[in-house]
Amino acid sequence: MRKVALLTLLFVLGVNAQSKPATIHFYGDGYFGARHVPLYIDDKKVGTLHGKEVIDVPVEARKHTVYSGDKKSGIFVQASEGGEYYVKVTLGGSFILHGQVTLVDPSQGQYEVEARRKNQ
């Protein structure tokens, strides 16, 4: 009987220990022209953004490095379990244009992402 209770407890703990991923929502300001900008999380390319697109990327709950084409203009995102993070991508640079990322307040980001999805 004790073994069954212990196995049940271990199963329940294992299921509860599974964490819900966080989501990083990338969206553009719409002024890319014909350009597509690459998106990176932790030095891994996760997509390419154009214009007013929205790209949702699930991530583990931990600290991530996020940038778009230029590591000098990146940000850190401390993702928590089930968290929603909004990253706006704009074009920057003087001679060579590249994407610049900005972490946006969740209420503003959610509004802007919903507006872009309605127009897609």
Q: If you search the block for the tokens 């991923």, which residue do you land on?
A: 21
pLDDT computed for residue 87 by the predictor? 97
Residue 97 has pLDDT above 70, yes or no: no
Architecture of the domain spanning 20-118: Sandwich (2.60)
The predicted structure's pLDDT at residue 6:
33
Residue whose token pair is 């230029």: 70
Which stretch of DSSP H or E encloses residue 92?
strand 84-92
- What distance in Å separates the CA atoms of residue 120 and residue 42, rounded to the nearest whole number? 28
Q: What is the pTM of this model?
A: 0.79
What are the domain boundaries of the chain? 20-118
Residues 35-86: pLDDT tens digits? 788 999 999 999 999 878 899 999 999 999 999 987 888 999 999 999 999 9
Q: Which two tokens stand for residue 63?
A: 């600290």
Edge-first strand listing for the sheet containing 44-49 = 44-49, 37-41, 63-67, 75-78
Tokens of 83: 């968290």
pLDDT confidence bin for 109, thresholds 50/70/90: very high
